[in-house]
Structure 1
Amino acid sequence: METRILIAADDEKSLAGLSNLLADLQYATAIAASLDDAAQAATRFAPDVLIVGLSLAPDDDFGALAQRLRAACGARSPMLIALGGWGESQHRDAALAAGFDVHLVRPVGLDQLTFILSMVA
Structure 2
Amino acid sequence: MAKKQEELKIKKRNFIQKTTDLKKEVHQCKKAVVSFERSAQAAVENSDRIFTEIIRSIQNIRAEVRKKIRAQKHKEVRDAENHIQMLEQEIVKLQKENCKVEPLLRTENHVYFFKVLKNI
Q: Same fold (TM over 0.5)?
A: no
Q: Which has the larger radius of gyration?
A: 2
Report the TM-score, using the length of structure 1 for normalisation.
0.14
* Structure whose residues are more often helix by fraction: 2
* Structure richer in strand, relative to its length: 1
**TM-score, normalised with respect to structure 2:** 0.15
